[in-house]
Every structure is written in C-alpha cells, then in structure tokens.
Amino acid sequence: MGWNSWNHFAGHVTDADIRAAADALVSTGMRDAGYVYVNIDDTWQGERDAQGVLHPNERFPDMKALGDYIHSKGLKFGIYSSPGAKTCAGYAGSLGHEEQDARQYAAWGVDFLKYDLCYFQDEMRKAGSRAAARDLMIAAYRKMGAALQGTGRPILYSLCQYGLDEPWKWGPAVGASMWRTTDDIDDSYARMSAIGFSQAGLSGFAGPGHWNDPDMLEIGNGKMTEDEYRTHMSLWVLLAAPLLAGNDLSHVSEADRRILTNKDAIAIDQDSLGQQGERLHQAGDLDVWTRRLGRGKVAVGLFNRAWSPRDVSVDLAEIGFPTGAPLRDVWKEQDLGRHTGVFTDTVPRHGVTLLIVSP
Ligand code: GAL
C-alpha cells in the first residue's frame, strides 16, 4: 500500500510534490492506515554522465535527500524505470545499465522499483518470433530482478508490462512481488470497471509476497461518483490488489479520505490468508464477488453495474453459512445482525454493498 505520482501529476511531478505527498500521507492518517510507499513514477530521469551514471533531472535536485525525507516520515521510497532504452514518457531507461541503476537506487535508499516495459518492445520486435520476444522480455525482467537482489537492499520489484504473456505465471521466478495484469487504468467508471470485473480466474496466482496488480487507484481524482469510487475500492480489496493511491493528497475530500482509509476495506485487502477473491455470479448488470478471509470470514461484494438502483442478493448457504451468520456492512460502517438464507440489498447505480460475513 502506498501512493504513486502518475495518475495525478503524470509528467509534471517534482521533488516538492513528492514531499507534499509524504507529508499528506501522515496528516490524512493514510500512513497509519497502511499506505507506506511513496513512489515517483516516470519523468524523474535526467542524463547519464560519462561513467553511465543516471542523474535525476532538474525537478529532482537530490534523490538521496528526498529518500531520507520520505524515510524520516516512517514511509518507504519507490522509483520507476524501464528495461528499454527509454521509458514510456521518453526519459532514460535502464537498458544496458541494469546493475548500475540498481546500485544507484540502493544508494538513494530506494525500497520499491516499478519496471515498465515501454521501449523494450522495440527490442522484442527484433526478436523474430513471438516466442523469442517473450523470452527476451522475461530475460530483461529477470536481469533487473537479479540486479536488485545483488544490491543487498530489499527493493520490492513491481512489473509493469500490461499483463502480456501471463506475468502471473513467471513473475515470481524473476523476483517480482507484483505484476500488472492489464493496460492502464484511467479515472472513469468504464475503464476502472472493465479492468476490475475482468480479473476473474487469476486468484490461483496470487498469495503472500506475490500479487496480481490491476493498476493504481483513481479514487479522489474527481471523475467518478462516490459510489463508483466505492466500487473501485471494493473490487481492488476483493482482488487482494496492491493499493497505490493516485490522487493529489494535499487536496483530499473527506469522502475520498473515508473511502481510502476505511478500516474494514483495508483489512479485507491486507487479510493474512492472502487469498484473492473471485466472481461468484454474474447476471446482466449484477455481479457478486467473494473473498475468503482468515478466521473463517468471507467478504462479499454485491455490485450493480446498471444505470439505476437494483436489488442484488447473495445466498449465505452458498458461501458456506448454511445456518446463517452475522453481517457487517463495510461502507455503512454498521453491523447488520444475524441473517439466514438469501440476503438482498438495494444497491445504487454503479455502486456496491460490501459485506463481511463472520462464522
Ligand atoms: C505506462 C504505465 C503507467 C505509467 C506510465 C508512465 O506504461 O502503465 O502506469 O507508469 O507508463 O509513462
């Protein structure tokens, strides 16, 4: 859990923005809720010197000092690169400089690397066949994984190659703790829900230390309704997804802060069983997902993807509670008492009722 600069600041991010984000993680209570990584995405890079050492650009005058500042707040420091000659935004990538860059990150105190395929696709096109291109890509990811390990500093390795060639099958072997499963998210219900609801079938590949990543959060960026952002958070926590906020933390509304820091939602996401959720049923615009939690609990998402309110139900017997069970409504922050048989709720358009069922 943490924050990443891309979804809000994109190519304009500065040292001051990162420091402000670190400050805000503390003042909003997000750090204490679990959001600890502060990740600079693309566009921090400057030029390589004669020795090949990559320096940050003028927007980041002193990376070591920035890392120290982040660490002084009880937070962790993340950075971004590409296995290609260039990053997506056209800045210097790590091709041919993997070990040197990994050493540099370690020297700056980096704790997290997002490694984004981008221009490495130019190399893959030269490979001759699809299979050769895939092997080349995996080798490039393995190379940086080994380089990070070689630094002796624990640096969480996050793959970003848009889910090409099923990274959930080879990600752990190259040293990754997480891998993107899809192309980029944006701040729209259409894109967010297309990504979230397409994640069925991947639960077997996630578990403690290795996670499917349906991309960063858009909560608070302003283009979805509150119900839609609750759907976003609910889907991501049911999917055991990394939670990387992507909004401007120096201007967080109370509603967005409540969504991002809801204790029950975060407890579902971070549940120690590490079992990713799955779709239970889909019927037209109604989607029901469940996630098995520790201590015999089950999280249930009753989603309404329609444009008007709908009744959405779950049969408690079907999810392992034949004699009924107490329910908690995560977003209402209310215990609903004991229920038996079919539980039905009226869910607003594009909204969700997120439940925790206890034995
Ligand atoms: C994309 C990546 C985004 C962001 C962007 C930066 O490829 O998926 O998350 O990192 O590049 O240029």
Q: Which residue among 3, 116, 119 has the greatest number of ligand 1 atoms within 8 angstroms of its CB, and so is best to mutate?
A: 116
Ligand 1 binding pocket includes 184 (Cβ within 6 Å): yes
Catalytic residue among 116, 187, 213, 345: 116
User: Which backbone phi and psi does 133 adopt, to 5 degrees?
Assistant: -65, -40
How far, in Å, CA of 220 to CA of 253, rounded?
7
Q: What is the pLDDT of residue 300?
A: 99
Q: Of all residues in the chain, what percent carry a pLDDT higher than 70? A: 100
Q: What is the pLDDT of residue 196?
A: 98
Ligand 1 binding pocket includes 42 (Cβ within 6 Å): yes
Q: For residue 282, what pLDDT band results from cuts at 50, 70 and 90?
A: very high
Ligand 1: distance of its center to the CA of 182 in Å? Answer: 11
Catalytic residue among 184, 227, 315, 329: 184
How far, in Å, CA of 176 to CA of 173, rounded?
7
Q: Which residue among 117, 160, 244 has the greatest number of ligand 1 atoms within 8 angstroms of its CB, and so is best to mutate?
A: 160
Q: How far is CA 137 from CA 80, 83, 288, 350, in A?
A: 17, 9, 36, 38
Closest C-alpha to ligand 1, atom 3: 184
Closest C-alpha to ligand 1, atom 6: 42
Q: What is the pLDDT of residue 244?
A: 98
Closest C-alpha to ligand 1, atom 1: 88
Ligand 1 binding pocket includes 321 (Cβ within 6 Å): no
**Active site (annotated) includes residue 116:** yes
**pLDDT tens digit sequence for 124-178:** 999 999 999 999 999 999 999 999 999 999 999 999 999 999 999 999 999 999 9
Q: For residue 73, what pLDDT band results from cuts at 50, 70 and 90?
A: very high
Ligand 1 binding pocket includes 160 (Cβ within 6 Å): yes
Mean pLDDT to the nearest integer, 324-346: 98
Nearest Cα residue to 38 out of 68, 11, 82 = 68
Using the structure block, give the residue that is written with the tokens 């701040």.
Answer: 187
- The residues that bridge with 327 in the sheet, in sequence order, are 337, 357
Q: What is the pLDDT of residue 225?
A: 98
Mean pLDDT to the nearest integer, 178-205: 98
**Ligand 1 atom closest to Cα of residue 118:** 7
Closest C-alpha to ligand 1, atom 9: 184
Ligand 1: distance of its center to the CA of 82 in Å? Answer: 10
**Ligand 1 atom closest to Cα of residue 114:** 10
Ligand 1 binding pocket includes 6 (Cβ within 6 Å): yes
27: Cβ contacts below 8 Å, ≥ 6 apart: none
**Ligand 1 atom closest to Cα of residue 89:** 12
Closest C-alpha to ligand 1, atom 11: 88
Ligand 1 binding pocket includes 17 (Cβ within 6 Å): no
**What's this model's pTM, rounded to 2 decimal places?**
0.98
Q: Which residue among 5, 115, 184 has the greatest number of ligand 1 atoms within 8 angstroms of its CB, and so is best to mutate?
A: 184
Q: What is the pLDDT of residue 199?
A: 98
What is the per-residue burial (b if ≥16 Cβ within 10 Å, else e) of 275-314?
Answer: bbbbbbeeeeebbbbbbbbeeebbbbbbbbbbeeebebeb
**pLDDT tens digit sequence for 237-267:** 999 999 999 999 999 999 999 999 999 999 9
Nearest Cα residue to 246 out of 57, 59, 78, 63 = 78
